[in-house]
Amino acid sequence: MNSADVAIAGAGIIGLTSALELKDAGCNVTVFDQGEAMSEASRAAAGMLAGADPENPTELRELAKLSLACYPGFLARVEDLSAKRIPIRTTTTVQGVKHLPATLDHATILRTVLSEREVNARAPGANTAGWKFLLLEEQSIDAWDLAEALPAAARAAGIELRENTSVFTVRGGTSGVDIVTADGTFSAGSFLNATGAWAPSLDRSLPVAPRKGHMLTTELPGELQMHCVLRTASVYIIPRGATRYTIGSTLEDAGFDRNVDPRLIHDLFSRAVDLWPPLRDANIAETWVGFRPGSEDGLPIIDQTSERCWVATGHFRNGILLGPGTGRVLSQWIVGREPEIDLSPFRCGRFALSPALSPAS
Ligand SMILES: Cc1cc2nc3c(=O)[nH]c(=O)nc-3n(C[C@H](O)[C@H](O)[C@H](O)COP(=O)(O)OP(=O)(O)OC[C@H]3O[C@@H](n4cnc5c(N)ncnc54)[C@H](O)[C@@H]3O)c2cc1C
């Protein structure tokens, strides 16, 4: 079929969660990906649903809250449709901070700030020097589990998924859009650009760039010694079942360079060993890189860009957390309903007013 109610470019978490929500709303949906579905940032991710991270910008709170509320239903639906499991891998995070966030009141401090003994009960052998540790109720999943299940779920739901089919350009008309792809021209009632770090290739006005991240997984023989995520601003360690721990990440402006730099992997591993010394006996099992879609101000861009076109990109370090909520509000908007949360912090217009771009600066 060469037409659909909604066509989506990009089969990462943002494109596919939107596709599932739109399908539920009664739309025929086709999703194009230039490569394999869920093979870019969405599979490279650490999988932390870090809605409680005190370092998150306040503008993300409402979308993060909605997305976390959507998560149980989203995972159950994807598991059901795909017949693949996406286990919750951890349920708490121990986060080291240099200073307690000013927003914490006394009761919250009593509840969340851990003594050295409490840190050690959760992360035995952790190096606590110079840090105050917070206990956050936060879950993580393995992005590889989601990457296996979500495309299968989309197909089972009746969404047409066209892999290895780049979208080149999109031309808007009054009754629909023409989408020029590697496989010919396709027509749709509406179009969503969910191409992550590649979004400017379809709309040059979008201030988005790839923010490269290196990751590694280690094997530490013996019993699993830590069951929570241990995180500071410079490194995180995530137990991944059995004897594996995933460690991340760097933040680089290196374009779409797919090379793994052994020096950066070594540096990341050293930072992890410094935070959690038991890791010094671990072997590096896997290394990889991914490209976070980073906007100019670090916030997502979720907007209607013309009568029949929408964009959702710029989810930066939190796209796994924010995916189901983003899919929910986009589908509401595209089918003509009022999105259930205020999306004004994520509109494109904010860049025209930013000091960097304003004529007065
Ligand atoms: C190292 C690392 C660690 C991370 N850790 C976390 C974490 O712990 N928690 C969290 O919430 N987030 C995390 N993130 C962020 C998260 O992975 C991203 O924000 C999210 O995956 C972005 O999803 P997306 O669908 O926008 O982009 P992507 O997953 O990159 O998907 C975009 C898709 O568009 C396709 N595409 C591009 N151009 C075209 C075109 N012209 N035509 C057709 N298809 C096209 C691409 O092939 C790709 O499949 C991490 C990211 C990285 C890199």
Q: Does 218 share its domain with 302?
A: no
CATH number of the domain that residue 131 is part of: 3.30.9.10
Read off the pTM.
0.96
pLDDT at 359: 35
| Ligand 1 pocket test target in 8, 14, 70, 240 with most atoms within 8 Å of CB | 14
- Element at 329 (helix H, strand E): helix 319-334
Question: Of 308, 120, 112, which is closest to residue 230 (Cα–Cα)?
Answer: 120
Residues 260 and 147 in one domain: no
Residues 94 and 222 in one domain: yes
Residue located via tokens 């670090």: 298
Residue that terminates a domain, selected from 260, 292, 324: 292
Which residues have C-beta atoms less than 6 Å from ligand 1? Answer: 9-15, 32-35, 39-42, 44-48, 50, 166-167, 194-198, 201-202, 213, 215, 248-249, 290-293, 313, 315-321
Q: Which atom of ligand 1 is nearest to the CA of 166?
A: 42
* DSSP of 164-225: T--EEEEEE-SS-EEEEETTEEEEEEEEEE--GGGGGGT-TT--EEEEEEEEEEEE--SS--
Stated as kind and residue range, the H or E segment containing 144 is helix 143-156
Q: How far apart are CA 319 and CA 16, in angstroms?
A: 12
* Distance from residue 129's CA to the centre of ligand 1 (Å): 35
Residues spanned by the domain of 234: 90-139+209-292
Confidence of residue 241 (pLDDT cuts 50, 70, 90): confident
> Which of 292, 308, 333 delimits the end of a domain?
292
Q: Same domain for 64 and 150?
A: yes
Q: How many domains does the chain have?
A: 2
Whether residue 260 sits in one domain with residue 154: no
Task: Grade residue 356 by pLDDT with cuts at 50, 70 and 90.
Answer: very low
Same domain, yes or no, for 166 and 131? Answer: no
**Residue 199 belongs to domain with CATH number:** 3.50.50.60
Residues 197 and 319 occupy one common structural domain? yes
Tokens of 306: 């013309």
Tell whether 78 and 149 lie within a shared domain. Answer: yes
Position 20 scores a pLDDT of 98
In this prediction, residue 225 carries a pLDDT of: 87
Q: How far is the CA of 41 from the centre of ligand 1 (A)?
A: 3
- Is residue 359 one of the residues assigned to a domain? no
**pLDDT mean over 320-331:** 98
> What is the whole-number distance in angstroms between the Cα of residue 314 and the centre of ligand 1?
9
Q: Where a domain ends, among 292, 307, 333?
A: 292
pLDDT tens for residues 100-142? Answer: 877 766 666 667 899 999 999 999 999 999 999 999 999 999 9
When pLDDT is cut at 50, 70 and 90, the band that residue 200 belongs to is very high
- Regarding whether 347 and 322 lie in a shared domain, the answer is yes
217 and 172 in a single domain? The answer is no
Distance 123 CA to ligand 1 centre (A): 30
